[in-house]
Amino acid sequence: MMFDDFQFSSILVSTIRNAPVLMFAAMAGLFAERSGVVDLALEGKMLAAAFVSAAVAYATQNPWFGILAGVGISAAIALLQGFVSITQKGNQLVAGIALNIALSGLTFVLAQFFFMQGGRTPDLGSARLFDIVLPGSDAVAGIPFLGWFYTKLIGGHSALVYLAFALIPLVHWILYHTRFGLRLRAVGENPHAADAAGINVERTRFMAMLCAGVLCSFSGAYLSIVQSGFFLRDMSAGNGYLALTALVFGNWRPLQTALGCLMFGFFAALQVQIEGVVFPGLGKVPGSLIQMIPYVVTVVVLAGLMAKSVAPKAIGVPFVKSR
């Protein structure tokens, strides 16, 4: 294969398809972590939502019911996580990892119990979420660039993709221009100050966890009822951790975090494209080395450009009214 086979347009489209999984999860993490609760359980919530969404969508043959059920379960788990790390003041890292492990096992066991297909749900078939074709797509499809731009790049994705991108300004607005956002940030930065200002720290954190649960569920639903069309064990495949990385990378700010997600999506797409490409001088780089690209880039970027990321100050610390 030649170097000219390398298609930039396809990389961009692929980036847009890859990013939502990370974007939902990263925004979920953003709510939790800006409120001071480390959310290592993104992975677990994603899996749970992916399973429940797929199972319910299959049972009802309606993707929207699936998404709704996914929201419910993910929110419930987030509240449980809240109970452990806010009410019980338990170690938030432990809570997160424990939930990930437990849900990785439980989703398999349940999927196996109900469907008997080795921890897989049946194919959703028509109960998958359809791709939206923008009005007038046929008309512009033939036009060079514009056609591609309108029908492939910004059009032809599922509703969840648009929701993911719409979240960026929305989360920004909530965080910086609403009462909830102000309180959320205060609680994550200095809960004692917030408490002294008459804010119920625990309630605010619970609200944040609820947001995190809801957002994270879309990530799971996207995996199972948009990208794959069924649930498979451990299908989150580390995306929850990658989303956290994007969050750190984006300094816990919505716009930068979304950029981080897009960057990961981009490198994943790039990696697919350069597999098997003959580089002048280098020859064919082995696939397993190309798989490293997104991770190496992250490390390099973290070490170089964005060395100083500043976490919310109270992150990981349960709020205890004491010295």
Partner 1 sequence: MQPAVEFQHISKRFGAVQANRDVSFSIAEGSIHGVIGENGAGKSTLMSILYGYYRADSGKLLINGQQHDIRNSHEAIDLGIGMVHQHFMLVENMTVLDNVMLGSEGGFRLQKNRKQLEQQLRDICQRYSLDVDPLDKIEDLSVGVQQRVEILKQIYRSANILILDEPTAVLTVQETASLFAVLRLFKEQGKTIILITHKLQEILDITDEVTVMRAGTVVGSVQTANTNKEQLAELMVGRPIETHLPRAPYAPGETVLDVKGLNLINAQQVSLLKDLNFNIRAGEIVAIAGVSGNGQSELLEVLSGMHLPSSGTVSMQGKPLPFAGRKDADGLPATFRELGIAHVPEDRLRDGVVKNFSVMMNSFLGYQKKLGKAFGLLDYKTILKTCNELLSKFDVRPADPHLRIALLSGGNQQKVVMAREMASSPKLMLVGQPTRGVDIGTIESLHARLLAMRDAGVAILLVSVELEEVRALADRILVMSGGCITGELKVEEFDATRIGLLMGGLHKH
Partner 2 sequence: ADPKFAVIYDAGGKFDKSFNQSASEGAERFKKETKIGFMEVQVASDTQTEQVLRNLARKKVDLIASIGFAQAQAVQNVAKEFPATKFVLIDGVAKGDNVSSVLFKEQEGSYLVGVAAAIASKSKKVGFIGGMDIPLIRNFSCGYVQGVKATDAKVEIVQNMVGTTTSAWNDPAKGGELARAQFERGVDVIFAAAGGSGMGTLQAVKEKGKLAIGVDSNQNYMYPGSMLTSMVKRVDQVIYDSFMQMKNGNWKAGVAYKGLKEGGVDWALDKDNRSVVSADMEKRVNAAKQDIISGKVKVVDFRDANKCPV
Partner 3 sequence: MNQADLPRWATAFALPLLNLLSALLVAAGVIYLLGESPLESLGILLNAAVFNPEGMGYTLFYATTFIFTGLSVSIAMQAGLFNIGSEGQMYLGGLGLTLVLLAFDASLPTWLLIPLAIAGSAIFGAAWAFLPGYLQAKRGSHVVVTTIMFNFIAASLMNYIIVSFLIPAGEQNTASRVFADSAWLPKLNGILPILGETPLNISFIMALLALLIYGIAVWRTTWGYQLRATGLNQHAAHYAGISISKTIIIAMMISGALAGLASVNSVMGSTHYLGLNFPAGAGFIGIAVALMGRQHPIGILLSSILFGALIQGGFDLSLEKPNIPTETFIFIQGLIILFCGAMENLYAPAISALLKRKEK
Place of tokens 């919505």: 254
Binding of residue 126 to partner 1 (CB under 8 A): no
* Minimum distance of ligand ATP from residue 323's CB (angstroms): 5
**Residue 163 contact, options partner 3, partner 2, ligand ATP, none, Cβ 5-8 Å cut-off depending on partner type:** none
Instruction: Give the residue, chosen from 235, 242, 261, 314, that forms a contact with partner 2 under the rule CB under 8 A.
Output: 235
Report angle CA 24, 10, 29 to the nearest 5 degrees. 10
Query: Residues 103-142 vs partner 2: string with x where CB under 8 A?
Result: --------------xxxx--x-------------------
Q: Say whether residue 320 binds ligand ATP (CB under 6 A).
A: no
| Tokens representing residue 24 in the block | 């939902």
Long-range contacts, stretch 81-85, CB < 8 angstroms, 24+ apart: 81/37, 81/39, 81/41, 81/209, 82/37, 82/205, 82/206, 82/209, 82/210, 85/37, 85/38, 85/318
Instruction: By CB under 8 A, tell whether 245 contacts partner 3.
Output: yes
Q: How many residues in the shown chain lie near ligand ATP by CB under 6 A?
A: 2
CA dihedral 252, 255, 256, 262 (to 10 degrees): 120
Q: Interaction with partner 1 in 143-182: which residues (CB under 8 A)?
A: 177-182
Site string for partner 1, 185-224 (x = CB under 8 A): xx--xx-xxxxxxxxx------------------------
Q: Considering only residues 217, 227, 245, 257, which one is a binding residue for partner 2 as defined by CB under 8 A?
A: 227
Q: Should residue 323 be labelled a site residue for ligand ATP when binding is judged by CB under 6 A?
A: yes
> Cα separation of 84 and 67, whole Å?
26
CA of 163: how far to CAs of 16, 127, 148, 189, in Å? 12, 19, 21, 29
Contact positions vs ligand ATP (CB under 6 A): 322-323
